[in-house]
């Protein structure tokens, strides 16, 4: 049986869809972390059948919008003295600024770097967003 000890202070990303843990791990740059990190994949779950988890023994400034884009089922547990002090359930964001690039070569964000890209959620089921400037649609 695999055993991963509880952490005293840090963050636990729980309820990650099985297979998405590695994407989140890489996007957060945890491969080069100087603190302990555990990536657990395909963990049995009563709620989800199988899930991934990431345990981080440090407090990070997490971008919840980015986490919501990668996996909106993720729960972020903040740990202090070995106990959960705050629990946040991420959601698919309705508005995304600077995290998605517009693929339309005629979009103002493609040739003018005056500000960040802005995308609005148009279909929650398919995770489809629309560029605020040109209307280009993209699935994340």
Per-residue pLDDT of the chain (140 residues; tens, 9 = 90+): 567 778 999 999 999 999 999 999 999 999 999 999 999 999 999 988 999 999 999 888 889 999 999 999 999 999 999 999 999 999 999 999 999 999 999 999 887 777 789 999 999 999 999 999 999 999 98
pLDDT of residue 18: 96
- What's this model's pTM, rounded to 2 decimal places? 0.86
C-alpha torsion 62→67→73→77, nearest 10: -10
pLDDT of residue 1: 59
All domains of the chain, ordered by start, with CATH? 10-89 (3.30.70.140), 95-139 (2.30.30.20)
CB proximity list for 16: less than 8 A, separation 6 or greater: 24, 51, 52, 53, 54, 71, 73, 74
End-to-end CA distance of the chain: 36
């Amino acid at each position: 049986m695999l055993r991963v000890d509880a952490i005293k202070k840090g963050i636990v990303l729980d309820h990650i869809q099985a297979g998405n843990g590695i994407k989140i791990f890489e996007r957060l740059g945890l491969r080069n972390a100087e603190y302990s990190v555990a990536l657990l994949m395909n963990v049995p779950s009563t709620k989800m059948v199988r899930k991934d988890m990431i345990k981080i023994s440090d407090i990070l400034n997490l971008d919840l919008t980015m986490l919501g884009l990668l996996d909106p089922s993720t729960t972020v547990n903040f740990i202090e003295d070995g106990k959960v002090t705050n629990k946040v359930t991420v959601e698919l964001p309705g508005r995304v600024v600077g995290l998605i690039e517009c693929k339309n070569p005629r979009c103002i964000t493609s040739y003018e770097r005056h500000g960040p890209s802005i995308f609005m959620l148009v279909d929650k089921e398919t995770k489809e967003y629309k560029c605020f400037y040109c209307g280009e649609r993209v699935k994340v």
